[in-house]
Amino acid sequence: MTRALVVRLDSDGDVLLAGPAVRAVAAGTDHVALLVSPDGGQAAHLLPGVDDVLVWPCPWTGFDPPPVDAGSVQDLVARLRAGRYDVALVLTSYHQSPLPAALLLRLAGVRRIVASSEDYPGSLLDVRHPAGGPHEVQRGLSLARAAGFALPADDDGRLRLRHPLPPAPRLPRDPYVVVHPSASVPARAPSPPQVGRVVAALADRGWRVVVTGTSADAATAAAAVARTPGALDLSGRTSFGALAAVLASAACVVSGNTGPAHLAAAAGTPVVSLFAPVVPAEAWRPWGVPTVLLGDQAAPCAGTRARTCPVAGHPCLDGIDPDEVVQAVDRLTALVPA
């Protein structure tokens, strides 16, 4: 019995983008465990091909990483040793190093460790694979192939979710568009006034609009809904799985570059991506569904990885004409059979 471990110690969106690579590993092994941080745990449980999810508060990833805790590290090594994994794939983005994770895997006795690393790995890696890409999905699949795993012939490599999904809240009977206004990185989200303008423009076009988000987005959602009769505010009212169900039933989703954009793609729903160029769109745009990318990709913030917009007025996103969003939604929904 071959046991594999896939490591992706990032957020839910990153874990969703690892889904095709996970399925490739699952096609060639008997058991797949997925090691994630708490920020990626919700998505991990939605991925097909995953038999076990290990959650660990990683001190070298995330926007608010915990301090290094020797007891926590020792506990993880013990858990990994008990898993008796034959092979581990450490998935990272281009700006991350897999070597801290590889060291712990080596201490846990994992027999074969595969990753992409620009740094000299010494004896930490058995396969040091050149980075694939440019998209994160392609990067993960390239690493899986280097480890000896490929998708089955009938798997097109799109993002997928495990079904059945959790039940969604009561939704409009008419076709609706979801607007997800927030992002884990503020620079990647439009301002609240811009959200209101987009919601109003979609409603004026005749769309029912559903606004989603966490409880932290309640003020933005409430303001957008208050000026738009008929819009539905679901902010703070869905789990990640229930949000997937909401997105799966939508005609289209309007979102910044954030986890729910990838969740919509995994649900098979077209996405209007309001994409701030602080990271490259070629690596992070929604994968495998009809998409319209809006936002000035040549803005001064391009490639800065800034968390807060460094340009006054947030022009790359707030400069988008709401009518452009409406036209993009109309174009995408015309491509999808009713």
Q: How far apart are CA 253 and CA 290, in angstroms?
A: 11
| Residue pLDDT, tens place only, 272-288 | 999 999 999 999 999 99
Q: How far apart are CA 96 and CA 98, in angstroms?
A: 7
Cα 31 from chain centre: 23
For 99, residues 6+ apart whose C-beta sits below 8 A from its C-beta are 115, 117, 119, 121, 124, 125
User: Quick check: 336 pLDDT over 80?
Assistant: no
- pLDDT for res 1: 84
- Share the mean pLDDT of the chain: 95
- pLDDT for res 133: 85
- pLDDT for res 59: 97
CB atoms within 10 A of CB 104: 21
| Residue pLDDT, tens place only, 196-244 | 999 999 999 999 999 999 888 888 888 888 888 889 999 999 999 999 9
Q: Are 147 and 127 in contact (CB under 8 A)?
A: yes
**DSSP label of 153:** T
Beta bridge partners of 330: none
Q: For residue 116, give Cα distances in angstroms to 94, 102, 120, 158, 201.
A: 9, 11, 10, 22, 44
Q: How far apart are CA 138 and CA 225, in angstroms?
A: 38
Cα 16 from chain centre: 5
Give the type of residue at 100.
P
82-87 mean pLDDT: 98
- pLDDT for res 224: 85
- pLDDT for res 154: 97
Q: How confident is the model at residue 165 (pLDDT cuts 50, 70, 90)?
A: very high
Q: How confident is the model at residue 337 (pLDDT cuts 50, 70, 90)?
A: low
Q: Are 151 and 301 in contact (CB under 8 A)?
A: no
| Residue pLDDT, tens place only, 120-151 | 999 999 999 998 889 999 999 999 999 999 99
| Residue pLDDT, tens place only, 168-198 | 998 999 999 999 988 888 999 999 999 999 9
- pLDDT for res 222: 86
Residue 136's Cβ-side half-sphere holds a number of Cα atoms within 13 Å equal to 26
- pLDDT for res 130: 93
Q: Are 41 and 52 in contact (CB under 8 A)?
A: no
* Nearest-10 Cα torsion for 91, 93, 97, 99: 0
Identify the structural domains of the chain with CATH numbers, from first to last. Answer: 3-146 (3.40.50.2000), 176-334 (3.40.50.2000)
Element (DSSP H or E) covering residue 88? strand 87-90
For 44, residues 6+ apart whose C-beta sits below 8 A from its C-beta are 15, 34, 36, 50, 53, 55
Q: How far apart are CA 283 and CA 296, in angstroms?
A: 16
Q: For residue 167, give Cα distances in angstroms to 145, 159, 171, 239.
A: 36, 20, 11, 10
Residue with tokens 């807060």: 308
Q: Are 260 and 212 in contact (CB under 8 A)?
A: yes
151-164 mean pLDDT: 97
| Residue pLDDT, tens place only, 88-101 | 999 999 889 999 99
